[in-house]
Amino acid sequence: MNSNVSNKSDKNDSEWEEKFMKQFENLTEDDLIRGKTPEGVEQLCFELCQKYMSNYPRWQKYGNRIENLNIYRITGGLTNQLYYVGLKEKDGTSPEDEITIKIHQVKYFKEDKDWRHDDHHRMTDMIIAIVVSERKIGPKLYGVQPTALIQAYYENEQLRPKHQKNPKLLKRLAERLAQINSLDVPINKDCNYLLNIMETYILENYDRFDFENLSKKLDISFMLENNFLTEIKLMIDFLRNRPDCPTVFCHNDFRGSNMLVINQGEEIVLCDFEYSWYGKRGTDIATFMLEWNRELFDFKDFDLPDDEIIENFIKLYIEAMNQLDPGYASKEENSVERILNETKIGHLSAYLFFIAFLMNQRESFIESIPYNLENQAVSSYAQ
């Protein structure tokens, strides 16, 4: 290719990427609150409290009328909306005076093509929520049903770069991950479950994007010079055929937004286990490391940090696993080098997750950023 043409194409690619990323620069957490608050949600929250909190004396005394409650939406939601419900008459010593109610919407990643049928997926979510609550890994549960979870409320900060610099918190996070990966959860243990869904989403949406014509229209060189489907299939085959990577229970969305730092920075509670499933060890470490030293909307690149940083966290993880399973650290398959390699493989899986997510998008998830099919196609391949 002529060097002038190549330079022009590279410049065009860079301009598209810069334009796409610039949309996220000034976002705040409030921009992630998606969708309207349903009518009658206050009454629904009140009824759920009557159903699941009525055995607590203070709820019996003060929670028997809706006007005695503070109810407001906290966040939500691609797949959920989260509401705060608290007694107006708080004594400051009873943690159950304040709760959250997570109201389920349709799951985004699932194997069914019929979006109306969500029950058995939510059954899996309920099982996982109960297990992580009992192990004190996730939020305490007061009630569970297919349409909602009634959980403890925690004053918290989401885990961000300032917390990553705290050795005590980093050690605690490694312990939490070790607890998750050690769980024996009574659900389908197909380690390729999410991978199969991602493959389906990408292949089904390929024609919808019409990549070939779109590449020509936008003159995007990396889409013209590479075969999208061939690269995706190679990546999927590689990820699927890794028998040397142990299968463990994974969070699959192990990001700072799902890590609640509580008790003045002394403890971590994990949340949002909707995508949790069995998968390859290293997946969650890779997802966490992709956010290393990044604030919430820092999307400039998706590279892992230096090996030294990853290895430091892996050592903490191995130490925590050895506490749960004595002798774990002495096995060759649990060495720092092996888990580092698995983390880099998990990095590919994280890329694939983002690609599938973007390609399956059919509407704007952030109100201030209108949905644009061309942007979705370019950003999907740019990953």
Query: What domains sit in the chain, N to C, each tagged with a CATH number?
Result: 35-153 (3.30.200.20), 154-383 (3.90.1200.10)
What mean pLDDT is predicted for residues 56-64?
96
What mean pLDDT is predicted for residues 328-346?
97
Give the DSSP letter string of 200-231: HHHHHHHHHHTHHHHHHHHT-HHHHSS-HHHH
Average pLDDT over the chain, rounded to an integer:
87
Q: Cα separation of 166 and 163, whole Å?
A: 5
Report which of 74, 70, 102, 100 is spatially closest to residue 86, judged by C-alpha positions.
70
Question: Which residues touch 61 (CB under 8 Å, ≥6 apart)?
Answer: 89
Q: Which residues pair with 248 in a beta bridge?
A: 279
Q: Which tops the pLDDT comparison, 109 or 50? A: 50
Q: Which tops the pLDDT comparison, 185 or 21? A: 185
Q: Looking at residue 298, what is its pLDDT?
A: 79
Q: Which residues pair with 87 in a beta bridge?
A: 69
- Confidence grade of residue 107 (pLDDT, cut at 50, 70, 90): confident
Least confident of 54-58, 120-124, 161-165, 187-191: 120-124
5 has pLDDT over 50: no
Least confident of 222-231, 237-246, 329-338: 222-231
What mean pLDDT is predicted for residues 60-81?
90
Model pTM above 0.85: yes
DSSP 272: -
